[in-house]
Amino acid sequence: MKQKKKQGSFIRLIKYMFHYYPVQLIVVMVCIIINSIASVAATAFLQRLIDECITPGITSGMGAVWSKLVSILITMGCIYVLGVVAAFIYTRIMAVVTQGMLKHFRTDMFDHMETLPIRYFDTHAHGDIMSTYTNDTDALRQMIGQSLPQMFHAILAMISIIALMLYYSLWLTLVVVVFAVAMLLITEKFGGASSHYMVAQQQSLADEEGFIEEIMDGQKVVKVFCHEEDSKEDFVKLNDKLFEDSKKAHTYGNILGPILNNVGNLMYVILALVGAVLVYFRVTNIGLAGIGIISTGIIVSFLSLARQFSQTISQISMQVSMIAMGIAGAGRVFELMDEEPEQDEGYVTLVNAQRDEHGNLTEADHVTGLWAWKHPHKESQSVTYTELKGDIQMDHVDFGYEPDTLVLHDISLYAKPGQKIAFVGATGAGKTTITNLINRFYDIEDGKIRYDGININKIKKPDLRHSLGIVLQDVNLFTGTVMENIRYGRLDATDEECIAAAKLTNADSFITRLPNGYQTELSGNGSSLSQGQRQLISIARAAVANPPCMILDEATSSIDTRTETLVQDGMDNLMEGKTVFVIAHRLSTVRNSQAIMVLDHGRIIERGSHDALISEKGTYYQLYTGAFELE
């Protein structure tokens, strides 16, 4: 199965290359053919030079053969020049093709990666994904730019050499064939082992880089729990595995060349001895049937061809492991590109709307501040418009990250426009999972989720997510200015709108105190800012998007109480008039919610307002009064 996959990756790579550079690759192939033939043809003229010019000149003087000598030398020179020009052309073209292919690979990978569902990133180490962009594409660079042209050149040269050898002498060619078989068996033994470990090296390198990325992201946790030594031990294990795979790959690869060179030298000696014997038979007129005419020029040319032949096999053997590594890299690249993209069968879209003279909603071609769901109906060929309000309902929803293991059981709830709905419960109770289903990061197993009365499966995912604002506990800020990070919520927002959003969410006061204010450059996920400041920027980012529905996932759980008050005020300003889902461990932040859902093991066990739940003296009462902790 793996072998078929490798072959499939190789064939697909060739098709991929011809898709982007068909003319250039055809020119490269023609130039390689010319260069290969030229290198062998020059050897053929060496035989003519000896037999038609040098040998006759020794016996009868150079005057008689001078014109022929000049003719042969000029022809050889032209062939050499043609070969050099062809080599120059194809190497220049392949430099462009190689870098162009890497550009297309990275672009296609990134474009496809952006279509993948959240599930993919939850189940794959980010360092492993990064290794595809770096190590695997570098392996492709070596294969496309060096190994494939050299392999193609070597195969053509071998064919030309064997054809010329057969023309000169069948018996000498048989000697070469015997040694060629031996060389191929050695190449299969050592080259195959090298290829196996080259592929293993790629995977080991990806595993090590994934571990490094994970440790870098969790460096604070490592230091807090004093796990530096444990981390070192884990890294050493991965590094040792990479060392072993690399050592074996290069040991087998490096030993192959010297072995083949020595076999080639032995072949050279045997051919010289056999050739000398055959020439002796010819000179002494000892007749042997089927030997044919063997001259000094043929022996010299044949030895030169044999040297070329052994060097060509060595060249092929040295490229086998590189091609195997490149095919392994191509397999990983295509594996990423073949990942199933996020499915979206939705057809309801979000559009700018306005009301006509009768008060009916119609689509507008400009920003109106009023949004509506454009719902085409196939049966009646009509289109209806539903105002975007933020009315969300979940009816008997079941869900599991794995098909056989449900995380949510029979969840039913509703949130009317402008209401604040809170989810509380222990970690793993299913709070975040519910919000992941609302924005369709995952799709439900059973039940229905309706948004303004429309089944969210009918709504296009980008439009659905445009209508939702999310503030997460873990803030992600991007390299760029503070202004650019706020504008990330709505890329067409003006500077004035971004500043207004920052003022609304209490972020403006600290931003204006930064060295360059809103133009302060951030890097390293905003590492120069405090957790509270980073959270305020993320809230401002959500505010500039101004969606009718907000999801606040433990947005204040990792900041101090004083900063929490500032952040909470900013969020209260952001939430005004919007449908809001709040997940919080600090129950003081959900007291003013219209409804509080208490979850336990994926089930809603209590629901109601703060006062109603306190009066029931159930689980929420015990959580709020500290009878037991959320965790």
The residues, any chain, with a CB within 8 Å of residue 596's CB and separated by 6 or more, are 421, 422, 423, 424, 590, 606, 607, 608, 609, 610, 613, 620
133-156, pLDDT tens digit by residue?
888 888 899 899 888 998 888 888
- Mean pLDDT of the region 97-102: 92
The predicted pLDDT at position 563 comes to 62
**In which band, very low, low, confident or very high, does the pLDDT at 305 lie, cut at 50, 70 and 90?**
confident
Which pLDDT value is given to residue 629?
A: 46
Q: Give the pLDDT score at 4.
A: 45
* Cα–Cα distance measured from residue 617 to residue 621, given in angstroms and rounded to the nearest whole number: 5
Report the pLDDT value the prediction gives residue 630, as an integer from 0 to 100. Answer: 45
196-210, 299-313, 481-495: which is most confident: 481-495
* Residue among 161, 241, 156, 165 nearest 200 (CA): 241
Please state which of the ranges 263-277, 335-349, 436-450 shows the lowest mean pLDDT. 263-277
Domain spanning 2-337, CATH class: mainly alpha
Question: Of the ranges 305-309, 352-356, 550-554, 570-574, which one carries the lowest mean pLDDT score?
Answer: 570-574
Mean pLDDT of 221-250: 79
Q: Write b or e for each residue in 243-253: b if 16 or more Cβ atoms lie within 10 A of its Cβ, otherwise e.
A: eebbebbeebb
Give the range among 472-481, 519-528, 620-629 with minimum mean pLDDT. Answer: 620-629
For the chain, count helices (H), then strands (E). Answer: 22, 16
- The pLDDT of residue 574: 67
Segment among 27-36, 175-184, 347-356 with least mean pLDDT: 175-184
The predicted pLDDT at position 631 comes to 43
pLDDT at 250: 74
Q: What integer best gives the mean pLDDT of the chain?
A: 82
27: confidence class by pLDDT, cuts 50, 70, 90: very high
Tens-place pLDDT, residues 280-291: 666 565 545 445
Mean pLDDT of 182-203: 76
Closest by CA to 508, choosing from 584, 577, 570, is 570
The mean pLDDT value for 443-466 works out to: 90
pLDDT-derived band at 96, boundaries 50, 70, 90 = very high
pLDDT score, position 220: 63
Tell me the pairing of strands 361-363 and 349-355: antiparallel
Length of the chain, in residues:
631
Residue spans of alpha helices (H) in 114-227: 118-123, 126-131, 137-142, 148-168, 170-186, 192-217, 219-224
The CB-side HSE value for 167 (13 A sphere, CA atoms) comes to 13
pTM score above 0.85 = no
pLDDT tier, 104 (very low <50, low <70, confident <90, very high otherwise): very high
Please, which pLDDT band fits residue 491 given cuts at 50, 70 and 90? confident
CA trace torsion 281, 287, 288, 291 (10° rounding): 70
Report the pLDDT value the prediction gives residue 2, as an integer from 0 to 100.
44
Residue 3, pLDDT > 50, answer no
- As given in the structure block, the two tokens for residue 106 are 């990275």
Tokens of 414: 């509703």
Using the predicted structure, report yes or no on whether residue 129 has a pLDDT greater than 90: no
Strands 579-583 and 468-472, sheet pairing: unpaired
Return the percentage of the chain with pLDDT > 90, whole number: 16
pLDDT at 418: 82
Token pair of 262 as six digits:
């020595």
Fold category of 392-625 in CATH: Rossmann fold (3.40.50)
Contact present, 435 and 581 (Cβ < 8 Å): yes
Residues contacting 597, CB < 8 A, separation 6+: 413, 421, 422, 423, 424, 604, 606, 607
Per mean pLDDT, which range of 5-19, 322-336, 430-444, 503-517 is the poorest?
Answer: 5-19
Higher per-residue pLDDT: 254 or 402: 402
User: pLDDT at position 284, please?
Assistant: 61
Token reading at 225 = 């729990």
CA pair distance 246, 242, nearest whole angstrom: 6
- What is the residue type of 582? V
Q: For residue 98, what pLDDT band results from cuts at 50, 70 and 90? A: very high
pLDDT reading at 225 higher than 70: no
Longest distance between any two alpha carbons in the chain, whole Å: 126
pLDDT band at 455, cuts 50/70/90? very high
292 pLDDT exceeds 80?
A: no
| Domain boundary assignment for the chain | 2-337, 349-387, 392-625
| Confidence grade of residue 582 (pLDDT, cut at 50, 70, 90) | confident
> Within 10 A of 236 (CB to CB), how many other CB atoms are there?
11
Concatenating the DSSP letter of every residue in 210-231 gives HHHHHHHHTHHHHHHTT-HHHH
**3-state SS assignment for residue 378:** coil
